[in-house]
């Protein structure tokens, strides 16, 4: 994708030499991408959070050292730029694909960091450290994935996504069908059991969920099948045995950033 964007300038010159309507239709797109690159560069240089120059530098280094996968999981960052920053809104930034947005981000980060040798030294050091940390935690995650796939048909992160989705479903409505009573569920905390399935990050099977009501709290057995689910107020007695994953706080923090 980076090579494709870099070649747009040459492509534009070729089209300019002929009088076809193609050059008229592609020129605005090329101009828009060039303008977005400029706006992105200014954003990275000036608009990062921080009250002092040192805090801004720290933020630039932190954000620009994130991998493509991490930034794709933080897609709301790019969406926020396209929705709330006037310059990006005017250029219809959110009409670009993620790859185009991320390429613009990388180009801006590279230019800003290369302008300042001392910033580049810090950035390179952090990149090496991040690589070592990622390798360490990936090995731990591989062990968790092996266990999670064996028990629930999906990776450890798929289990987390399925768990969160089930909690959102419970909190989002259909309380009567879940609890059998007309009580609003204020919050839900679900845990996987030996009867739970989380293939492709979709909750299925049987889960243990602790439901929080205005007038009290109570554990439930929650059964999920496709888009249908229901609850049983049996204090979780038929939900199956708990599945425990030994996960350090450091690994959890690392996963949250990805």
CB 148 within 8 A of CB 245: yes
Token code pair at residue 167: 């909690």
pTM for this one?
0.59
- 32 conformational bin, left if phi > 0, alpha if psi -120 to 50, beta if neither: alpha
DSSP conformation letters of 158-187:
HHHHHHHHHHHHHHHS-HHHHHSSS--EEE
Per-residue pLDDT of the chain in tens (258 residues, 90 and over written 9): 333 333 222 222 222 223 333 334 444 455 566 789 999 999 888 877 777 888 888 888 888 887 787 787 666 778 888 888 899 999 999 999 989 999 999 999 999 899 888 888 888 887 788 778 888 988 999 999 999 999 999 999 899 999 999 888 888 765 555 555 556 777 889 999 999 999 999 999 999 998 888 777 888 899 988 778 888 888 888 988 999 999 998 888 888 766
CB 50 within 8 A of CB 59: yes
């Amino acid at each position: 994708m980076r090579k494709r964007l870099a070649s747009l300038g040459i492509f534009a010159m070729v089209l300019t030499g002929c009088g076809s309507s193609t050059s008229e239709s592609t020129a605005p797109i090329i101009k828009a991408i060039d303008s977005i690159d400029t706006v992105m560069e200014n954003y990275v240089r000036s608009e990062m959070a921080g009250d002092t120059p040192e805090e801004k530098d720290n933020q630039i280094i932190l954000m620009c050292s994130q991998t493509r996968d991490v930034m794709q999981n933080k897609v709301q960052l790019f969406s926020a730029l396209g929705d709330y920053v006037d310059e990006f809104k005017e250029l219809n930034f959110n009409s670009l694909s993620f790859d185009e947005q991320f390429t613009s981000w990388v180009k801006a980060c590279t230019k800003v960091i290369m302008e300042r040798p001392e910033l580049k030294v810090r950035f390179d050091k952090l990149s090496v450290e991040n690589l070592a940390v990622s390798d360490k935690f990936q090995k731990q995650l591989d062990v968790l994935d092996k266990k999670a796939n064996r028990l629930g048909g999906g990776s450890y992160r798929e289990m987390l996504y399925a768990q969160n989705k089930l909690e959102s479903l419970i909190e989002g409505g259909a309380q009567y069908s879940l609890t059998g009573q007309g009580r609003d569920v204020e919050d839900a905390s679900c845990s996987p059991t030996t009867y739970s399935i989380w293939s492709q990050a979709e909750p299925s099977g049987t889960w243990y969920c602790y439901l929080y009501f205005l007038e009290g709290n109570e554990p439930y057995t929650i059964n999920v099948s496709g888009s249908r689910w229901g609850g049983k107020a049996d204090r979780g007695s038929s939900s199956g045995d708990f599945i425990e994953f030994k996960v350090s706080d450091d690994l959890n923090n690392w996963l949250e950033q990805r």
